[in-house]
Structure 1
């Protein structure tokens, strides 16, 4: 592979005697990864039903390698059930190493297409709030789809400049992840087009953006909160020097140790002006040392953790809900707080607790889209179907993987389910594959009208 001469010289300086081992890895095949959605299925249960051989990613508890040259996991019904996300193995590391706990308020600053946000949401387990932001509204739409596919409802999907978010969320978040826009040097092997992009916009261009983002994020993090900064590049300007800059601007931050792995390399204080030895606690991932592409990670804490009273749910006034919505909710074995139901026009949303006022900010979604009220009836959404578990809904059609109706459903076709229902059965049914929801259908005369979201349908 023809690498830019300037880049080669920089890597020789950075790696010294390891440089030849690094360049040799360009002749090796790339690695394909799959991360299990632990919000829907345990790793143990997934391995029992996994349709292909998988090899564990040793530093990620729910990560696995698969043979991407011969199989296509994105074409399997389990993908449509949101049981896993396809992600390069090194890229799994940032969300894995940010210690998110149930009830946290979490921000993913540059979140599209959702590889990190889906894992952060799974860790929250339906509690707290996940704010996922991407400046590009087209990319934010892909982010929304992936979060809905994963069944994550406690979301706020934004499309804003990070700087604009500061005034809305001062010291609001418990955890922040910044997977920063970068020059992409760590991805040269995986995506050759990144080399051309690097020649157009190199480290100097991106380091200015990164410095702006980290200092804005610092203002949105509460005292004692944790921030994880990551890039997929090797450049010191974008890595250790960006962290050095953050520490200069906000001295209350300190670098924290991360759970290690034998393939991780220590950060390099020697590439900074301050030579701060604490920078050794940051992590570099090199593709010649482990089975993954290039990455950099730094975990930081903002000042001392302050003891705060338990965050009590905000008690809103109980709302009188429309009859047709109440009737539908009667089919769901889950308690919904009516004060968190937000009716906007025909659409019904279930809101996360404790959101600030959002007027004047661009967002694609707040909360879980429950469905729509239409002429005295309620139509549940695709997002709600993915958020439910089979046992929470009282009208279910559960198809085994080998049933041809699974594929017909994913293609949007009407299904004959006479063998599965009684003659007088009717209404909204949750369609599952092997016990995992795919979407809704409406049963009329033992025929199932397909309500699978048109934009999600299978294209063979």
Structure 2
């Protein structure tokens, strides 16, 4: 790999001669591949019994696994059922080490394409609220799809600058994750094109952006809340120096230890202002772990902790659905929408977490769970609703084995023919599953299933 001389010199200074040679050797090795199990849909043990793939545990996260590149994991029906997310193994660390608990209000500030946001949402298990933001509207669209594929119901997907969120969410969030835009030095092996990008915009360019994002996030976090800052770069200017700057500007913050692993390196106090707290930061080196480069720091905002969700829990009440929507739920689903506000916009029905409050003026792609659309006095359920369900919540369902070619035909949008014994008792809207896990809706008629899989998700 042809590394820029300035980068090579900085790495020699960080690592020393011996470790630098080990780093260079790792840069010539093949990258590794990983997937992360969606534990809001399936347990790790259940997944391992079900999956046909040959997997090896990633030792630093409980629900992560290495897989061989020759295995087509993104073409399997389980992937389209949202049972796992394909993610670089070291990139699994930040969301894993931010201790999200049920009922939290969580912000992923730089969230696209959703690798970390999907894990944060899975930890919430259908409670609290996840705000996932990305300044790029086009990237935010991919983020929304991944969150809906994972079946995460209580979301707000925004496309704003961090500063634009402040009037709506000042000191609102219990937990915040910032996977900051960076120079990407840790991704040189995975994506050599990052070297060209580094030459155009190096650490100095990104460091200023990161400091501004951190200060804004500090004001979005509640007293007592936790913030995890991560990058995929080795540059101390973007890593320890960014954290040191926050500690100077916001003395109510402190860097706290996070769950370790034998391959983790410590932060480097001398790279910033010598603050010993920086040793609690984590550096991930590709010559010490089977993954790419990462940096992570877990910070606490000191002050009295009070969950942002507590006030909303006190005012939970049953919401009234539009008549057409209620008739659909009565006939086909068993689903509790208590604690959510039902909103209808342009005949589309949404169930919005009550904790969100007024967000008028924000640019968002989705608020809450999109239930479906009212069309000519009838209700058509959404793909997002299907993915948020468990099979037992549907009054009528059918499940195909992942080895049944009809599972793939369904994902292609084709009409599905049923055997006589399969069609018996099925009527109207059907939840179509693979190995018991939802893929989407269909309508049963005359021994076949009229495909209602979302056209934008269909495979070729």
Asked if structure 1 preserves the Cα contact closer than 8 Å seen for 2:224 and 2:306, the reply is: no
RMSD: 1.5
* TM-score, with length taken from structure 1: 0.97
Map 1:380-391 onto structure 2 (within 5 A): 380-391=381-392
- Cα distance in 1 for partners of 2:294, 2:154 equals 29
Question: Displacement, 1:27?
Answer: 1.6
Q: Deviations over 1:298-321 (max 9, x none)?
A: 000001343569434263775543
- Cα distance in 1 for partners of 2:424, 2:378 equals 22
Question: Which structure 1 residue ranges, 5 or more long, are not aligned?
Answer: none
- Cα distance in 2 for partners of 1:111, 1:409 equals 30
Matching residue of 2:456: 455
- Cα distance in 1 for partners of 2:370, 2:221 equals 27
- Cα distance in 1 for partners of 2:136, 2:92 equals 22
Matching residue of 2:221: 221
* TM-score, with length taken from structure 2: 0.97
Question: Displacement, 1:283?
Answer: 0.2
Q: Deviations over 1:67-95 (max 9, x none)?
A: 01x11100100000000000000000000
Map 1:60-139 onto structure 2 (within 5 A): 60-68=61-69, 70-139=70-139
Question: Displacement, 1:212?
Answer: 0.5
Alignment of 1:313 with 2:313, yes or no, is: yes
Question: Displacement, 1:324?
Answer: 2.0
Map 1:109-258 onto structure 2 (within 5 A): 109-258=109-258
| Cα distance change of structure 1 residues 336 and 303 upon mapping to structure 2, 3 Å threshold | same
Q: Deviations over 1:396-419 (max 9, x none)?
A: 011112222111101100111243
Question: Displacement, 1:334?
Answer: 2.4
Question: Displacement, 1:345?
Answer: 1.9
Asked if structure 2 preserves the Cα contact closer than 8 Å seen for 1:171 and 1:222, the reply is: yes
- Cα distance in 1 for partners of 2:20, 2:316 equals 60
Matching residue of 1:359: 360
Question: Displacement, 1:108?
Answer: 0.2
SS, match of residue 23 in structure 2:
helix
Matching residue of 1:408: 409
- Cα distance in 2 for partners of 1:339, 1:90 equals 36
Map 1:6-25 onto structure 2 (within 5 A): 6-16=6-16, 17-25=18-26
Question: Which structure 2 residue ranges, 5 or more long, are not aligned?
Answer: none
Provide runs of 4+ in structure 1 moved above 6 Å.
none
- Cα distance in 2 for partners of 1:400, 1:454 equals 22
Question: Displacement, 1:241?
Answer: 0.2
- Cα distance in 1 for partners of 2:436, 2:353 equals 27
- Cα distance in 2 for partners of 1:339, 1:438 equals 24
Aligned residues: 457
- Cα distance in 1 for partners of 2:89, 2:197 equals 23
Q: Deviations over 1:370-421 (max 9, x none)?
A: 0011112110000000000001111001111222211110110011124344
Answer with 421-430 or 315-324: which moved more. 315-324
Matching residue of 1:434: 435
Matching residue of 1:58: 59
- Cα distance in 1 for partners of 2:319, 2:276 equals 56
Matching residue of 1:33: 34
- Cα distance in 2 for partners of 1:388, 1:45 equals 18
Asked if structure 2 preserves the Cα contact closer than 8 Å seen for 1:128 and 1:353, the reply is: no
